[in-house]
Amino acid sequence: MSNSLITYVKLHKVSLVLAFLSIAFYYTFAYHLERTDFIKLVTLFAALFFLCFKLIQFEKWNFRFLLIIGILSRLVFLFTEPNLSQDFYRFIWDGELVSNFLNPYLNVPDTLIGQSDLVIANAQQLYDGMGSLSARHFSNYPSLNQLFFAIAAILGGKSILGSIVALRGIVILADIGIFYFGRKLLKNLNRSPHLIFWYFLNPLVIIELTGNLHFEGAMLFFFVWAMYLLSVNKWQWAGVVLACSISVKLVPLLFLPLFLKHFNFKKSLLFYSIIGATSLVLFAPFYSSEFIHNYSKTIGLWFSNFEFNAGLYNGIKKIAIQFEAKPWELIKTYGKLTPILTIAIVLLFTFLRKNQNLTVLLSSMLWILTLYYFISPTVHPWYVIFLVTLTIFTSYRFALLWSAVVVLSYFAYSRTDFKESLWLLTIEYLSVYAYLIYEIITHRNKK
């Protein structure tokens, strides 16, 4: 062992031990955890957050060291199936359809599985794995996401595990891209570049994206890239890249009105035209007379049929039930009000804030998405990752706390009836609300 290596080990021995423990815990999470074991899940999650905090605290200027730890933590999951989500079965199903030039927006799996000439490899296993809820609905994943699924299906060589490895490769590359452009964007915003590690080493990010194969990371790669392009005044290319982000997940659509004040009126129209044209090109291969109806119908279900880890909605439902309201009717009524409230929130932040400044623009995005999640009846843990990303580029940190406590929502998976614990959800949301209020007061006092 060379003298320089010995010296390095001596200087960083505590961090090396923490890194080893972190990777060991990720290995345990990936290969030795059932999602029904809530106590083990929460314990591992808490330990990984503590290790993440200490690694960033000790080595925040040692970029190469933390980058390698982040990559190794992701590679641990490479050859295992996701253990907290079954969505990957639908990803591969859609990818098989697209790779065989079949439109995933025109037929539901319940219909396709009965066809004798179905060309999907491992069709029955994928159908059984995705579950009845996914199987009876049209695909809700946008066009560029479908392309990623198709690439994974092709590279997977008609093997489910092969497709999983390919999907993981895409997700890991997207996270490295976020690290690259996120660090550049932080420098352009005169913020410390080490803040990117609160994304790159965040256990929620590693477990939900690389581990469970959710494609928020791909969406965020294009989003962060677009924001970086705005920071260097390459707004035309930013429009193209932002359209790619929307074509992976629709969430960035919420932020489009904000650009009315970020640019002048004429420039904003050109920006919207670029986004619209790019989006049309990306969706064109899937267009048919039935596409818009089927896709909008599926998206509408998220407002009026599903509920999970809700904040405000659970409080309203609890009160409404005392007045003999029927939960299945309440969710439909509430689902009709949610888009109206969301539009009102977006318009307020569009016209009442000075979004010309990129820092203010990113802050407005953070508030819009935060308030949207507060009122939404469905907030899956991986949704919070977008807030974590936006938080890095602002002076607020409440989303980091939320990324730690959102694991409490997984208690539902430990129950055979998937019933949530309102006590645990109360702890989750009260801690987030309390810290958010503290930060708001602190920021006002500083001003």
pLDDT tens digits, one per residue of 343-393:
999 999 999 999 999 999 999 999 999 999 999 999 999 999 999 999 999
Q: Is residue 126 in a domain? A: no
Kindly report the number of other CB atoms within 10 A of residue 300's CB atom.
Answer: 14
Give residue 116's pLDDT: 81
In a domain, 297, yes or no: yes
109 belongs to a structural domain: no
97 part of a folded domain: no
Q: How many domains does the chain have?
A: 1
pLDDT at 118: 87
Residue 138 lies in a domain: no
Tell whether 256 is covered by a domain: yes
Say if 148 falls within a structural domain: no
Determine the structural domain holding residue 74 and report its residue range: 3-84+162-446
Residue ranges of the chain whose pLDDT lies below 50:
none
Is 407 part of any domain?
A: yes
pTM over 0.75: yes
